[in-house]
A = this chain, B = another copy of it.
């Protein structure tokens, strides 16, 4: 198949304002006065970030949602994305696969209010590689950061944790007799787009590399220490059923794409009300103190020792 026909068939219907119908190597985008751009970029590689037999639709959604989660972590509203696809010639990534892939993109474009702006399609010896650079906007100076945590703040997370990490274990055939919703959580995360947390939380990021490692990022950037209480961590029943056997997987595993925040005591009620209004569960799971590093305390308030910290990309 030719590059230009391929783009026209699958991606042109997804193109929005400024994309020039993908007929140009470039695209244009306006940023409203008083706002600034927020950008993030994530690559997904077959075999590393998804499995070749994952549904094309869910691969597309995960690709967008990982990036959407980065915008959510900065308090930004999505508007466009650039898509780069490197397609192996000799594999099962055929017309049907890309039709389903485009359907996944389209569904999430509608759900999250954004359009395709441009990108690049190329052949590849192996494997399938997907990359999105996502573009959102935020009121100037109001992007959430990782470096504002203060001793005395609480540590908060949205949603529940560990489902995606266990879902991966199910997919790899290592965990049997588990709830099928775990696989779905691994395949199609729920980015917490749409909250307005500027002025409420003191630091925010999304949990992509694992709770402990990502708390470490906030601790390092803010120059503080974080203590987490295992008994406070929000786990679904499906996760709780495996907590003893898979404790490290659950606490260190990535792919949650929930928000991790620190919040001053006097803003806790505001945070809870705001999240409630938006239908987003939020739970206080720890505290910020002076010092450095991350400690997880078990129900007897003894520190848990881990064999690693979290996901290393390479």
Contact = CB atoms under 8 A, between A and B. Distances in A.
A118 B89 CA distance: 30
A205 B26 CA distance: 10
Report the 5 A-B pairs with minimum CB-CB distance, sorted nearest first.
A123-B314, A26-B40, A3-B313, A133-B133, A31-B31
A30 B25 contact: no
A126 B123 contact: no
A25 B205 contact: yes
Given A121-B314, A314-B3, A27 B45 contact: no
B125 A26 contact: no
Contacts of A82: 39, 41, 133
Contact of A43 (B39, B122, B127, B147): B122
A126 B46 CA distance: 11
A70 B206 contact: no
A85 B43 CA distance: 9
The winner among A76, A120, A135, A138 for most chain B CB atoms within 10 A is A120
Contacts of A86: 43, 45, 129
Contacts of A49: 122
A267 interface: no
A139 B42 CA distance: 29
Contacts of A143: 26, 28
Contacts of A31: 30-31, 36-37
B131 A70 contact: no
Interface string A164-198: 00000000000000000000000000000000000
Interface string A60-77: 000000000011011010
Contacts of A147: 23
